[in-house]
Structure 1
Amino acid sequence: MSAVVTTQDPDVIAAEHHDGLPFDRGTHDRLLRMPPLRGSRIAHSAVPVTVDASALESQLAEARATIAEQRERIAYLESLSMTDELTGLLNRRGFFSHFRREIAAARRQRAKGNGKGGGVLVIIDLDGFKRINDTHGHMAGDAYLRQIARLLVGAVREEDVVARLGGDEFALLLTNTDAACGAARARQIATMACRRGVPWSNAELPIRFSFGVQPYGADDREEEVVRLADSHMYRNKAGRRLRSPGRKAAQPVARSAANRRATA
């Protein structure tokens, strides 16, 4: 006759779980009567912890300094991607980023009932820049572009934007300005520039440029405003060529921006 043994059998527990150690029935019974544990909440004895406040403050200060350095580095790298290395002005990418914000600000201003907002874009293209490079070399061309950048920055207000779009093409964003005032300001800058020159190797390189003016507002897109200003600039340049003595009137009136920059 075979006997059925359950896991509550003290002899089985002693044999299988206590490796032959003496079995204590009282302890066994108390364990069976204990309520089951809920989750992983197990009581531990309290352990006193001593915190060094000065060391903690030092670590926090170090962490803050590291974060500040990282933020400064990120801002520097972002500025490199938005800045023209030669002149220090905004590059094409930086210009369009700023222009989008300007048009968005005009929309907000109009929505609040504070007027139309907006301003005037001036596209500037240097006249005869290729000849400067060909005659005096690229170092002279670089010095010439840097001088133009300084002249334009000094000719506008602090809230206005000056950018080098590429090659010998620059842009001015005259903010919070109407079309008439913007066009008048562009003419004043061109006249002022004509009276100056860039000294180079015992020579005075004349400053000449053509410009196109296009107002912008809350309903405009920056690409279209640039296209229109560029078109006005080409017409201005064509008229200057026809009026200039010794120039051939058979030169093409309007070339694509890509062709113009390739020959700049």
Structure 2
Amino acid sequence: MEPTIKTITDKTNYKHGDNSLSGDVIKRIFCSAPNSIVFETSNGEISWEYNYKNGDIVDRAAVKFHELREIIPNDLPDRVASNIKVSLCNVFFTALNSQTISDCDNAYLQIEERIKNLKTHFHIKCIFILYSVLFTFLISSLSTSLYFFTDLNLKAIFMCISCGCIGSLFSVMQRNDKVILDTMLDNKYIILQALFTAIMGSIAGGLIYIISKSGLALSFSNDNIYSLTILSVLGGFSERMIPEIFKKLETK
């Protein structure tokens, strides 16, 4: 929607439900001053009015506003989308009232960085899965190497660690739709989440071996590497398997 230019009207007199000069009903006022206002119309559009200003600054502010609106992801949670919308409109108002082109550009710096850091749920899943695969490969490769270069008595535990890590990857692949991460998280935190998932799976696999060898539980798999392998994968896959075993042992 194009802005309406007016040289007399005091924009602070507008209230919710008033008709703007272009005839649209003002549903929500983001910011207003005597010479300018940014508001949302009843049909969900963002519009603005201003008294006489430097046309170059107004044009620059409006172009930047539309550019940033275009790159906001469509599938953001409602709360996040609403906050971004309000923040962008407030910045737009500040840019409209800038004294110089440089001030106008500087007004958008923080909100531009914030919008560019936004991630869709699909984007987060891709990063999470990609690094889960990478960490699983690294941990499994290390465990496999130790399996071949370690004393015979300790070989099986490294195989179980590797299988537990693989089990955690299966869990990630199956349950990635349920992974909830903030859409504004830096990539490093998503990567850390993937690393922690792989480590927890590896720990679960190692615990399966120790519990089996202890004779306190899972003793049927004590000397059967195939059973240990399957149980280790299940231990890494299931979030409740190890806690439930510990609970039973505590009860005994």
Please report the TM-score for the alignment, with normalisation by the length of structure 2: 0.27
Q: Which structure is higher in strand share?
A: 1
Of structures 1 and 2, the one with the larger relative CO (CA 8 A, separation 6+) is 1
Please report the TM-score for the alignment, with normalisation by the length of structure 1: 0.26
Rg larger for: 1
